[in-house]
Structure 1
Amino acid sequence: MGVDIFIYIGGFALLDTLSPTIIGVTLYLILTDNQRLTSRLFSYLLTVAILYFSLGIIMMLSLNYILEMFSDLFQNKIISWLLLIIGIILFVASFFVPTNKNKKGTMLKPKTQSLLSIVFIGLITFLIESGTALPYFAAIGLLTTNNLPYYYWLPIIAAYNIIMILPAILILLCYKLFGRWGNSALVNLQQKISSSSNSALSWIMSIVGLILIFYTVDYL
């Protein structure tokens, strides 16, 4: 496994840090719940990270099996052309993602103050974002095609998920350090994320589309 694989996977992980849902819920908890903030936020982040980690393991195991069965199929020019077309569609479609003009936006909010409610929000976050987790799927695909043993790819997936939730942890640390001094900045950040959540999706679609295009050109 070369250094370039780590660079690609690290880049995908950084793309996943742009999750508007995770950052949005983090900001909501910080701005509305100061008493049990740390325990509630970490319960939420751990729920999301554990679910994504479990998904990564399932995908690694299943993709290995599928690739062994259809290894010749993926060398087919038809498949390469199909992936190229998908990449072009993603790249072009990224320019047409509608802008959210609603300044308030939509955000997942816990209905009660219980930890169970926070865990449920983490589950909903996973269900919403796992279907469009293109960088995560691309990273799993790279790991799978390199035929790594489990003791290599397990810590890589774990590190990926830590990087994914790292911005939320950094926001919490900044809040703990600066307290109310940074409240106005957090409110502004929350409003920007709520009103432009589709921008992150647009960037992710365009970058993943370009990666698919460049990756398949050599096989045409």
Structure 2
Amino acid sequence: MDLLTLAGLAGLALIDSTSIGTLVIPIWMLLAPRVRASRFLTYLATVAIFYAIAGVLLVLGAEAATTALAGLSDAAWVNWVQLAIGVGLFAYSFRFDGARARRSGRGPGRADRWKARLTGENATVGAMIGLGLGAAALEIATMLPYLAAVGLITSAGLPVPLWLAVLGGYVVVMILPALLLGALRAVARHHVEPLLTRVSAWFAEHSDSTLGWVFGIAGFLLARDAAFRLGLFNQWINS
């Protein structure tokens, strides 16, 4: 796996780190008057474990499909279709206008319903696990960055220990911003709370723009992989 692919995976993981489950809810927890580290870490660990297990299942399923369709990826028409999809996704990403989304007044409604339960005094470790599972499960339908990352890991043809390490690294990067904010909040609460408030407000206003970046990165990586398989870069260099 080359450095550009690893950089792409890191970028996708950072985009995944801005979802409701991986950033918005942790920020709300950190904005509570009293933050219990055990609850905060339990929540993040639950989300990370859920994503890791889902990733393993997706990679194994993708490998099984790849074995069943051995040789199909060598077909030129398949690579041209992948290239078209990648270019299409990249072009489609420009349709996501953050300013237009802000004018519509739309917000993350389901996240609002979780806020009181996460920041209240009656929240328990069991509730953190349940809400972590719920947050991750509800976002499966919108986990495009993760699906793109799984596709890149699978297409790399890595041995099992290596792709498990790459997948684990992806999940760690995905929750890293929340962990860093938690550490900053612990050592400099009064300085960090205004930042947390601004980040939470920014995310609420720019959720559409974030989704546009998801489509753009996924499209670029798909198109790049197809172009290499078709030898388009070699033709361009030789010309």
**TM-score of Structure 1 vs Structure 2, range by shorter chain:** 0.7 to 0.9
Aligned 8 A contact 1:52 1:161 in 2: yes
1:168 Cα deviation after fit: 0.2
Deviation track 1:190-210 (CA, whole Å, cap 9, x = no partner) reads 111112122211111111111
The CA deviation string for residues 105-162 of structure 1, in whole angstroms up to 9 with x for no partner, is 5325253612333222212321233333333223322322333222222222112111
1:160 correspondence with 2:170:
yes
Which aligned runs of 4 or more in structure 1 are off by greater than 4 angstroms? 1-5
Deviation of 1:171 after TM superposition, in Å, equals: 0.5
Report the Cα distance in structure 2 between the residues aligned to 1:197 and 1:67, rounded to whole angstroms. 34
* Partners of 2:8 and 2:221 within 8 A in 1: no
- In structure 2, give the amino acid aligned to 1:74: S
Residue equivalent to 1:12: 12
Return the offset for 1:24. 0.6
Alignment partner of 1:126 is 2:136: yes
Give the residue type in structure 1 aligned to 2:89.
Answer: L
CA 1:5 to 1:46, structure 2 compared with 1: closer, same or farther past 3 Å?
A: same
- The gaps in structure 2 that reach 5 residues or longer are 231-239
Aligned length: 219
Q: Is the 8 A contact 2:21 2:132 kept in 1?
A: no
Match of 1:149 in 2: 159
Kindly tell me: are residues 52 and 35 of structure 1, through their superposed partners in 2, closer, same or farther at Cα, counting changes over 3 Å? Answer: closer
Q: Structure 1, unaligned stretches of length 5 or more?
A: none
Offset at 1:104? 6.1
Aligned residues with identical type, % of pairs? 27
Shift, 1:103, TM fit: 8.0
Greater helix content:
2
TM-score when normalising by structure 2: 0.81
CA–CA distance in structure 2, aligned partners of residues 185 and 61 of structure 1: 40
Partner of 1:26: 26
Normalising by structure 1, we get a TM-score of: 0.87
